[in-house]
């Protein structure tokens, strides 16, 4: 088995909501018991709608946030309890690419300063050649070194964000919605860049996205999140071809078909995502599920192997059967 770069065990992240002192304290269960393994060479797509906890999970995995409970292992080392200075070696293994390149680059720093920050944080000073090499890796050049973020287009800014993440030569990049803030025409360029870097540098990725098409393009494995839990996980082709969880099936049915004239049965979900302050009992999806029965309200389903596939797992009592072979 190949090397595990990231391993999350039953990770929970609850945020306390402070209100008036006479009210009961509330907690938002942003991530509620997620286990996930990322191995070397893999690209894991983490999909889910807004508020499903995918960005929070990404921040726990990079240890920007402390998990409420559970365990985070990076490069085979338990880093759950590490903080501050002692996390620095870990930072060299896992780096993060942020969603909004406008917000993730300091507007008062030149590109050169932005790119040298990771080096300084690790206690070294980069040479100009190192910085230029970084820029060239992401398709920019030496002339961009002295410029400021506002002088770049969205796609170029995201390239700078990627270059910064690459500065410490990480093995795993966690990309939080890396293209959702970009124009559609630029999205493909950035995704291609990520793919090129994977081949060139042997990187692994966790790509957080709400866009299933984006994940389909890059991911080798997919995890679907709903209300802070993973409801389905498996190799990308299997999940896309034979979604087992009703939620995944509903999500996929909403993806527009590229061929004109081809239609599919759309499963329209009613209602909103329940509040993560008081998620439903049992299965978190049961309030919107078209297959829900009594057991779904009482017992929480766990991820189980389905359809006899060893890698494909879903947390559902009534998984969808695989579709008949299409001719």
Partner 1 sequence: MSSSVAGVVSPTRQALRRVRRDRSARFGLVLVVVLIVVAAASPLLVKLSGQDAFTYHIDLLDPVRGNAPRGSFGGVSAEHWFGVEPLTGRDLFSIVVLGLRTSLVIAIVVTLVTTVIGTLLGITAAYVGGWFDAVLSRFLDFLFGFPQLVFMIALGIIVPTSVPRPLLLIGVLSFFGWAGLARLIRAQARSLVTREFVEAARSVGSSGWWVITRELLPNLLGPVLVIATLAIPGYIGAEAALSFLGVGVPPPTPSLGRSISDSIVWVYTGTDPWFMVFPGIALFTAVLGFTLLGDGVRDAFDVRLRRTH
> Who's near 51: CB < 8 A, 6+ residues apart?
227, 273, 276
Nearest to partner 1 of 87, 252 (CB atom): 87
**Closest distance to partner 1 from the beta carbon of 74 (Å):** 12
**Closest distance to partner 1 from the beta carbon of 167 (Å):** 7
Find the angle CA(280)-CA(37)-CA(182) to the nearest 5 degrees: 80
Q: Which pair of tokens denotes residue 258?
A: 């590229």
Nearest to partner 1 of 122, 220 (CB atom): 122
Nearest to partner 1 of 163, 250 (CB atom): 163
Nearest to partner 1 of 107, 308 (CB atom): 107
Q: How far apart are CA 219 and CA 237, in angstroms?
A: 9
Q: How far apart are CA 25 and CA 220, in angstroms?
A: 41
Residues that bind partner 1 (CB under 8 A): 59, 62, 64, 84-85, 87-88, 91, 95-96, 98-100, 103-110, 117-118, 120-122, 146-148, 150-151, 161, 164-165, 167-168
**Closest distance to partner 1 from the beta carbon of 101 (Å):** 9
**Alpha-carbon dihedral angle through residues 258, 214, 211, 226, given to the nearest 10 degrees:** 120
DSSP conformation letters of 182-227: S-HHHHHHHHHHHHHHHHHH--EEEEEES-HHHHHHH-SEEEEEET
SS3 for 78? strand
Nearest to partner 1 of 81, 88 (CB atom): 88
How far the first Cα of the chain sits from its last, in Å, is: 35
Nearest to partner 1 of 169, 281 (CB atom): 169
**Closest distance to partner 1 from the beta carbon of 166 (Å):** 11
**Closest distance to partner 1 from the beta carbon of 11 (Å):** 17
Q: Which pair of tokens denotes residue 47?
A: 């999909």
**Closest distance to partner 1 from the beta carbon of 123 (Å):** 9
């Amino acid at each position: 088995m190949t090397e595990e770069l990231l391993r999350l065990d039953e990770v929970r992240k609850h945020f306390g909501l402070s209100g008036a002192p006479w009210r009961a304290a509330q907690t938002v269960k942003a991530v509620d018991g997620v286990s996930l393994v990322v191995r070397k060479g893999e690209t894991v797509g983490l999909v889910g709608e807004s508020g499903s906890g995918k960005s929070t999970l990404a921040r726990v995995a990079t240890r920007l946030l402390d998990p409420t409970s559970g365990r985070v292992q990076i490069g085979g080392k338990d880093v759950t309890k590490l903080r501050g200075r002692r996390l620095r070696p870990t930072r060299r293994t896992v780096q993060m690419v942020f969603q909004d390149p406008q917000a993730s680059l300091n507007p008062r720093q030149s590109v050169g300063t932005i790119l040298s920050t990771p080096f300084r944080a690790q206690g070294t000073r980069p040479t100009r050649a190192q910085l230029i090499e970084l820029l060239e890796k992401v398709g920019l050049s030496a002339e961009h070194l002295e410029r400021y973020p506002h002088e770049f287009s969205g796609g170029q800014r995201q390239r700078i964000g990627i270059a910064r993440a690459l500065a410490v030569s990480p093995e795993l990049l966690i990309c939080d919605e890396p293209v959702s803030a970009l124009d559609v025409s630029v999205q493909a360029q950035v995704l291609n860049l990520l793919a090129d870097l994977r081949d060139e540098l042997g990187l692994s990725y966790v790509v957080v996205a709400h866009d299933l098409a984006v994940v389909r393009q890059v991911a080798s494995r997919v995890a679907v999140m709903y209300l802070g839990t993973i409801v389905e996980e498996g190799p990308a082709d299997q999940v896309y071809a034979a979604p087992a969880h009703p939620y995944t099936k509903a999500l996929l049915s909403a993806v527009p078909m590229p061929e004109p004239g081809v239609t599919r049965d759309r499963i329209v979900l009613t209602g909103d995502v329940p509040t993560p302050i008081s998620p439903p009992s049992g299965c978190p999806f049961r309030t919107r599920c078209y297959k829900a029965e009594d057991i779904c309200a009482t017992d929480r389903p766990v991820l189980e192997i389905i359809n006899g596939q060893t890698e494909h797992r879903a947390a559902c009592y009534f998984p969808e059967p695989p579709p008949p072979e299409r001719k």
